[in-house]
């Protein structure tokens, strides 16, 4: 996955260079051969385009949402294609035909709009596109050129760097891929949150603390061997692996004895919909991660420690309780879970929840 993300980030750099019209031979070539006076946002893919160029074009939509124009003198900013106001690029809702009919130039700059048209829309357009009334008054500052900025996922705006972009893309990829594993209505919210942090390697494990420069000797509080890390806790650690083995057997999952990332990948590739098996599997994952993390912290910070069998009992009880609070349509799978987990589930024919 890393390599793919890295390639994407590098391609994003090309899109960025085209958008800022960087002074390189390649960008000059792109301008002459590919764009021919149009903006990168408005050209179409051609069947004869090279594989690399097609990939660059495919990436545009993702790239575009991140590229915002800070208005200076308005001379560079494209009125229709750049994002220079919070409502986004105007061409997402104004068509070429509209521009043509109203005799607007497709390559109009923000400055031209302000200077030649007093920054005003016609009444017809205000009625046709109520969004336009939300645009803030454009204030041009002479002597300061328009600057393209990179907007990250939290809305912060800054410089474009490949490593920043790499980070954003990885987060997006992770989010898309592992989303259904974590965020589903039947999950326990607190568990989902801990799992979400764990998936991103954001729990404050000891390897992280060591990286920050603390030199104390640290050992995993669960096994007293290695210092802990995401990979160790989920589920290399002797303590955790016993829990994992038991749960795998109970859930009928085979062959997950791998790294944390690989475990997540295997689970993410399985069916993650509303069947009782799928819901149970994901609730169990989140519960295991949450209770292992909790036990680790109890031992480290409160001096309380339980045996793995005791933690397992808590996990099982929590899962049973959660499963009992949900509604199911009658099915063989539901009866089987009732039997295996020794629970009485809420089964009704017209349930809107899990579909068994
Ligand atoms: Zn350990």
Q: Do 315 and 203 share a structural domain?
A: yes
Q: What separation in Å is there between the alpha carbon of 209 and the centre of ligand 1?
A: 16
Q: What separation in Å is there between the alpha carbon of 293 and the centre of ligand 1?
A: 11
Q: Do 306 and 245 share a structural domain?
A: yes
On whether residue 352 sits in a domain, the answer given is no
Q: What separation in Å is there between the alpha carbon of 237 and the centre of ligand 1?
A: 4
Q: What separation in Å is there between the alpha carbon of 238 and the centre of ligand 1?
A: 6
Q: What separation in Å is there between the alpha carbon of 71 and the centre of ligand 1?
A: 54
Q: Do 45 and 86 share a structural domain?
A: no
Between residues 260 and 174, which one has the greater pLDDT?
260
Given 153, 176, 199, which residue is the final one in a domain? 176
Q: What separation in Å is there between the alpha carbon of 218 and the centre of ligand 1?
A: 11
Q: What separation in Å is there between the alpha carbon of 311 and the centre of ligand 1?
A: 15
Q: What separation in Å is there between the alpha carbon of 347 and the centre of ligand 1?
A: 40
Contact status, residue 184 vs residue 282, Cβ threshold 8 Å: yes
Q: What separation in Å is there between the alpha carbon of 220 and the centre of ligand 1?
A: 4
Q: Residue 267 pLDDT > 50, yes or no?
A: yes
Q: What separation in Å is there between the alpha carbon of 314 and the centre of ligand 1?
A: 19
Q: What separation in Å is there between the alpha carbon of 253 and the centre of ligand 1?
A: 23
In tens, the pLDDT along 110-165 reads: 999 999 988 888 888 888 888 888 888 899 998 999 999 988 777 788 888 888 88
On whether residue 355 sits in a domain, the answer given is no
Kindly report which listed range (69-73, 217-221, 229-233) carries the lowest average pLDDT score. 217-221
Q: What separation in Å is there between the alpha carbon of 301 and the centre of ligand 1?
A: 16
Q: Do 104 and 2 share a structural domain?
A: no
Q: What separation in Å is there between the alpha carbon of 241 and the centre of ligand 1?
A: 9
Q: What separation in Å is there between the alpha carbon of 307 and the centre of ligand 1?
A: 13
**Which residues sit with Cβ closer than 5 angstroms to ligand 1, an ion?**
220, 222-223, 237
Q: Do 204 and 171 share a structural domain?
A: no
Domain count, the chain: 3
* Residue 41 vs residues 25, 48, 109: alpha-carbon distances, Å: 20, 19, 15
On whether residue 156 sits in a domain, the answer given is no
Between residues 289 and 1, which one has the greater pLDDT?
289
Q: Do 172 and 24 share a structural domain?
A: yes
How far is Cα 271 from Cα 79, in angstroms, rounded to an integer? 45
On whether residue 62 sits in a domain, the answer given is yes
What's the domain range around 91?
Answer: 72-145
Between residues 355 and 229, which one has the greater pLDDT?
229
How far is Cα 249 from Cα 286, in angstroms, rounded to an integer? 17
pLDDT computed for residue 356 by the predictor: 43
Q: Do 118 and 35 share a structural domain?
A: no
Nearest to residue 6, comparing CAs of 160, 200, 151, 170?
170
Please tell me the total number of residues recorded for the chain in this structure: 356
Q: Do 285 and 321 share a structural domain?
A: yes
Q: What separation in Å is there between the alpha carbon of 264 and the centre of ligand 1?
A: 19
Element (DSSP H or E) covering residue 112: helix 110-117
DSSP single-letter state for residue 346: E
In tens, the pLDDT along 305-342 reads: 999 999 999 999 999 999 999 999 999 999 999 999 99
Q: What separation in Å is there between the alpha carbon of 286 and the centre of ligand 1?
A: 19
In three-state secondary structure terms, 354 is: strand
Q: What separation in Å is there between the alpha carbon of 240 and the centre of ligand 1?
A: 7
Question: Which tokens hold the place of 338?
Answer: 């009732």
On whether residue 167 sits in a domain, the answer given is yes
Q: Residue 286 pLDDT > 50, yes or no?
A: yes
Q: Do 265 and 308 share a structural domain?
A: yes
On whether residue 21 sits in a domain, the answer given is yes
- Angle formed by the axes of helices 162-182 and 260-269, to 10°? 60
Q: Do 205 and 105 share a structural domain?
A: no
Q: Residue 216 pLDDT > 90, yes or no?
A: no
Cis peptide before 235 (omega within 30 of 0): yes
Q: What separation in Å is there between the alpha carbon of 296 and the centre of ligand 1?
A: 9
Element (DSSP H or E) covering residue 38: none
DSSP lists the bridge partners of residue 157 as 151
Q: What separation in Å is there between the alpha carbon of 233 and the centre of ligand 1?
A: 6
In three-state secondary structure terms, 202 is: coil
Q: What separation in Å is there between the alpha carbon of 266 and the centre of ligand 1?
A: 23
Q: What separation in Å is there between the alpha carbon of 58 and the centre of ligand 1?
A: 44
Q: Do 336 and 314 share a structural domain?
A: yes
Q: Do 342 and 218 share a structural domain?
A: yes
Q: What separation in Å is there between the alpha carbon of 259 and the centre of ligand 1?
A: 14
On whether residue 1 sits in a domain, the answer given is yes
- Write down the pTM of the prediction: 0.58
On whether residue 103 sits in a domain, the answer given is yes
């Amino acid at each position: 996955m890393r390599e793919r993300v890295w390639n994407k980030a590098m391609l994003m750099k090309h899109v960025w260079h085209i958008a800022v019209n960087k002074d390189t031979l390649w960008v000059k070539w792109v301008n002459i051969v590919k764009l021919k006076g149009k903006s990168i946002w408005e050209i179409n893919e051609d069947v004869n385009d090279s594989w690399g160029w097609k990939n660059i074009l495919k990436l545009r939509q993702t790239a575009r949402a991140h590229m915002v124009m800070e208005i200076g003198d308005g001379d560079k900013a494209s009125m229709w294609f750049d994002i220079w106001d919070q409502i986004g690029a105007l061409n997402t809702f104004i068509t070429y035909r509209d521009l043509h009919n109203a005799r607007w130039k497709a390559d109009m700059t923000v400055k031209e709009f302000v200077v030649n048209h007093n920054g005003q829309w016609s009444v017809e357009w205000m009625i046709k596109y109520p969004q336009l009334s939300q645009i803030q008054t454009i204030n041009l500052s002479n002597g300061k050129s328009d600057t393209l900025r990179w907007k990250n996922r939290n809305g912060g705006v800054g410089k474009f760097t490949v490593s920043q972009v790499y980070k954003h893309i990885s987060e997006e990829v992770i989010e898309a891929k592992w989303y259904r594993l974590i965020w589903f209505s039947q999950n326990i919210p607190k568990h989902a949150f801990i799992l979400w942090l764990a998936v991103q390697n954001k729990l404050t494990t000891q390897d992280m603390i060591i990286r920050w420069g603390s030199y104390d000797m640290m050992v995993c509080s669960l096994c007293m061997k290695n210092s802990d890390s995401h990979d160790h806790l989920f589920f290399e650690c002797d303590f955790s692996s016993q829990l994992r083995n038991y749960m795998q057997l109970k859930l009928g999952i085979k062959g997950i004895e791998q790294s944390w990332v690989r475990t997540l990948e295997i689970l993410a590739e399985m069916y993650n919909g509303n069947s009782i098996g799928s819901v149970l599997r994901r609730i169990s994952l989140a519960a295991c991660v949450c209770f292992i993390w909790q036990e680790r912290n109890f031992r480290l910070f409160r001096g309380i420690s339980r045996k793995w069998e005791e933690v397992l009992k808590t996990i099982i009880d929590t899962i049973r309780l959660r499963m009992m609070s949900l509604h199911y349509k009658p099915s063989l799978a539901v009866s089987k879970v009732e039997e295996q987990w020794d629970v009485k589930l809420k089964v009704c024919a017209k349930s809107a929840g899990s579909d068994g």
